[in-house]
Amino acid sequence: MIDAATEEFEQNRQRLGAIAYRMLGSVHEAEDVVQDAYLRWHGTPRETVDSPRAFLAQIVTRLSLDRLKSARRKRETYVGPWLPEPIAEAAGYVSAPADEVASDVSFALMLALERLSPLERAAFLLHDVFEVDFEEIAKVLGRNPAACRQLASRARANVRAVRPRFAPDSATTTRVAEAFFSAARSGDTVALQRLLAEEVTLHTDGGGRASAALNVIAGADRVVRFFAGLARKRGRGPPQASVRLRLNGGPGLLTVESDGHRQTLAVDIEGERVTAVYITRNPDKLRHLDDWLPEAFRVGSCL
């Protein structure tokens, strides 16, 4: 039998995970925060809680802020570009609110959030994404409502500056993504030049654990040269496994390369051009995607 407190928590679990992931950019950190919140929830007398939904959001936000301070210090010494841990759409961390901003966990949004202060990030997410009023946010952040409103306003301006101006229809997205994945793998420079926006950016996250570019690569010509060079080095053969996924809400690919390394490749698309490319190779950020691979390639498989 599930007790009433557990049932109430489970009704809020997905929302709490969504808050924690957007705060931290890490699936396993988000899971830890939700578990810590569960323990605190069970240690709190029910009569002291007016609104379980608001109370749990407060706990998760405070726990996330504590972890974010430590995480930001680590990221100052992170090797190469940092990307959030990629999530598959069915992984349970994409909430389903009514509007477009609220359902967004795109790499572009997550990188924009990373540039905010922890308090700006919390105020923006709680108000604009999870519809918490500023009076409640003030209790969480230890600021007055007016100050929280200012924090959210500054964050909103920064986030709007990087959000795509429009999204292509799914048929266009699929066609452009498939063409890009093929051209990137083969190093087809003509096709890449046709598919890439002039100001495209390429983010590769190896975290010092796997080979990756040490800086963001900007500009179509440089990105084309990167993939052409990669194709030449790949003489060892095609990937051992390749799975199409929606990663952080956009087209993506999870592969086990010929040398056994896992990686994800994801893209932002505007119109019929790829505007950003995200490659994650840091193995610490890919373990949670293991179940998406054929069984023979999962960690612990005897094959």
* Pair (157, 212) in one structural domain: no
Structural domain contains residue 102: yes
Q: How far is CA 150 from the centre of its chain?
A: 25
* Pair (174, 284) in one structural domain: yes
The CATH number given to whatever domain includes residue 236 is 3.10.450.50
Domain boundary, last residue among 111, 140, 162: 162
pTM > 0.85: yes or no: yes
* Pair (158, 239) in one structural domain: no
Domain boundary, last residue among 125, 145, 162: 162
Distance CA 24, CA 141 (A): 16
* Pair (291, 175) in one structural domain: yes
* Pair (18, 141) in one structural domain: yes
Measured CA distances, 119 to 32, 48, 74, 256 (Å): 21, 26, 18, 38
Distance CA 111, CA 73 (A): 16
Domain boundary, last residue among 139, 162, 185: 162
Distance CA 30, CA 255 (A): 24
* Pair (88, 180) in one structural domain: no
The secondary structure of residue 129, as a DSSP letter, is: I
Structural domain contains residue 302: no
For 261, the token pair is 């390394």
Task: Please check whether residue 177 is in contact with residue 267, taking contact to mean a CB–CB distance below 8 angstroms.
Answer: yes
* Pair (56, 154) in one structural domain: yes
User: Where would I find the beta strands (DSSP E) of the chain?
Assistant: 196-205, 217-218, 241-247, 250-256, 262-270, 273-280
- For residue range 108-152, list pLDDT tens digits in order: 999 999 999 999 999 999 999 898 999 999 999 999 999 999 999
Structural domain contains residue 55: yes
* Pair (192, 158) in one structural domain: no
Q: Is the dihedral of CA 68, 207, 17, 103 positive or negative?
A: positive
- For residue range 150-192, list pLDDT tens digits in order: 999 999 998 887 765 556 567 888 899 999 999 999 999 999 9
Instruction: Report the DSSP beta bridge partners of residue 246.
Output: 251
Give residue 38's domain range.
4-162
Strand order in the sheet with 196-205: 217-218, 196-205, 273-280, 262-270, 250-256, 241-247
The CATH number given to whatever domain includes residue 52 is 1.20.140.160
Measured CA distances, 157 to 98, 113, 164, 252 (Å): 21, 11, 14, 28
The total number of structural domains in the chain stands at 2
Distance CA 126, CA 117 (A): 14
* Pair (14, 142) in one structural domain: yes
Structural domain contains residue 88: yes
Structural domain contains residue 9: yes
* Pair (48, 112) in one structural domain: yes
Structural domain contains residue 303: no
In tens digits, the chain (303 residues) has pLDDT values of 568 889 999 999 999 999 999 999 999 999 999 999 999 998 888 888 888 898 999 999 999 999 998 888 888 889 999 999 999 874 333 333 334 444 678 899 999 999 999 999 999 999 998 989 999 999 999 999 999 999 999 999 988 877 655 565 678 888 999 999 999 999 999 999 999 999 999 999 999 999 999 999 999 999 999 999 998 886 567 899 999 998 998 899 999 998 889 999 999 999 899 999 999 999 999 999 999 999 888 875 544
- 1: exposed, middle or buried (Cβ count in 10 Å: 0-12, 13-18, 19+): exposed
Structural domain contains residue 140: yes
* Predicted pLDDT at 2: 63
* Pair (249, 135) in one structural domain: no
* Pair (188, 287) in one structural domain: yes
Structural domain contains residue 59: yes
